[in-house]
Amino acid sequence: MNHPASSVAVLAIVCAGLLAALMTSHLLTPISTDASSTSTSSGYVYLLSTVGACKGPGGYAPCFGGNITQAEVFNCLTAATTPTGCTQFVVNPSNASINYQITVWYPSVSQNNEPPWANCKYQSTGDLAQQSFARCVTTNSTAFVVTQPAPPPL
């Protein structure tokens, strides 16, 4: 007998395990972290789809946390490989005026001052003066998530 719900649950567990296996553990402080989220067992935190807790000099900015189910999914893998990158709006579902725009370039390697764990970079309207390094992880043939090393435990 076919059980679609259990198949989806198994697939989600397998995908989460593969994501963890793809990432190596480094303990560096991320640009901004949502303190209410816990870090992942792989040592990385995810760029969250929630907006409002983190701000940069230009306004709302990406927050990173440990719950992959809340990760912002970028469905623009092909665009991310171009010089203009993948640009996406991240909007608070409760208040559309709380938002930011982010552009991700993936892959992006061998850049000046790039940490060894990084394979992509991003820039948001929260801090247009700075491009930040990240580790992007492909989730399927068209999509990826953005991660950064988790801060060390307190």
55, part of any domain: yes
Specify the pLDDT at position 23. Answer: 32
131, part of any domain: yes
CA angle 118, 119, 121 (to 5 degrees): 85
Sign of CA dihedral 140, 146, 147, 148: positive
For 23-63, the pLDDT digits (tens) are 332 222 233 333 333 334 468 999 999 898 899 999 999 99
Specify the pLDDT at position 111. Answer: 83
8, part of any domain: yes
For 77-114, the pLDDT digits (tens) are 999 999 999 999 999 989 999 999 999 999 998 888 89
Q: How many domains does the chain have?
A: 1
Question: Which H/E stretch holds residue 78?
Answer: helix 77-80
The pTM assigned to this predicted structure is 0.72
Domain range for 24: 4-149
154, part of any domain: no
**Cα 6 from Cα 139, distance rounded (Å):** 20
List C-alpha distances in Å: 52 to 56, 59, 68, 75.
11, 9, 18, 22
**Cα 45 from Cα 35, distance rounded (Å):** 11
78, part of any domain: yes
Per the listing, tokens 């998530």 go with: 145
